[in-house]
Structure 1
Amino acid sequence: MPPRHRTRWRHEVASFGYAFQGIREALQTEPHLRFHALATVVVIGLGLWLQVSRHDWALLALSIGAVWTAELLNTAIETLVNLVSPDFHPLAGRAKDVAAGAVLLMALAAGVVGLLVFGPPLWTKLLALRTS
């Protein structure tokens, strides 16, 4: 591999490290992201227990990824707003509120996916437990 390509490859690999560092820092500083991490563990556990289909796993994975992405973007927006507008400004507050609203909307949509995926098999299991 020519030296120029090797340098670019190393840069590309290093960018993954920066991305993981950003996720790690957000997990350490953002309580909402830690909540989403716990919810992710619960969703994966429920999916395994209920033995959901591959299609349902795909829906759950997309929902989890979308919520995490929304939360990370919200964190980035809040951080940037705090940098450029350390004092209160109505537009800064509006930007933060809209970003938080995006997370809320995505979390609600993921909740609907969770109900649609887990509702029927969970109901079946609960009825089976009740009748035994």
Structure 2
Amino acid sequence: MDRSSLSTFKSRGGIKRVVNAFGYSLKGLRAALRHEAAFRQECALALILFPSAFWLGRNAVEIFLLCFTVLLVLIVELINSAIEALADAISLEHHPLLGRAKDIGSAAVLLCLLTTGAWWAYVIIDRFF
């Protein structure tokens, strides 16, 4: 027997599943905006950077990559926030593996931020200097 069929939390599929999944995604975005300061800050920055990408980019590829790197930061921040919430739900006491999971998630966000900063700096320097 398939293990996924044992869970009462698994959906059966169809259009109802798609609608439910979309609702859960919106719920997750609202939760991140409500509870995660870093995600709110990155969203505020994205509101500035997305329109700036259309002004700064000289072609479709540059515009896409400028926007993509910003979006990637938001995606990785959401995953990091999910890891942190799960770790906190498991235990608020210090545990080396939970701490490692949180640190690795944070490192992923840092790498995305550095990549985004490097790409934006490259495009700005290439355009203006």
For the aligned pair, the TM-score class normalised by the smaller chain equals 0.7 to 0.9
Which structure has more relative contact order (CA 8 Å, sep 6+)? It is 1
Gaps of 5+ in 1: 1-6, 125-132
Identity of aligned residues (%): 32
Runs of 4+ in structure 1 deviating by more than 6 angstroms, as ranges, are none
How far off its partner does 1:72 sit? 0.3
CA contact (8 A) 2:32 2:78 kept: yes
C-alpha distance after superposition, 1:20-75 (max 9, x if no partner): 11011101111111111111112123223436421111102221221111100000
Please say if 1:29 is aligned against 2:35.
yes
1: CA distance, partners of 2:125 / 2:47? 18
For the aligned residue pairs, the C-alpha RMSD in angstroms reads 1.7
Larger Rg: 1
Match for residue 99 of structure 2 among 93, 111, 124: 93
CA contact (8 A) 2:76 2:112 kept: yes
Please say if 1:70 is aligned against 2:72.
no
Taking structure 1 as the reference length, what is the TM-score of the superposition?
Answer: 0.79
- Residue 114 of structure 1 aligns to a residue whose secondary structure is helix
Match for residue 118 of structure 2 among 112, 115, 129: 112
Mapping of 1:6-21 within 5 angstroms?
Answer: 8-21=14-27
Please say if 1:56 is aligned against 2:38.
no
2: CA distance, partners of 1:51 / 1:65? 16
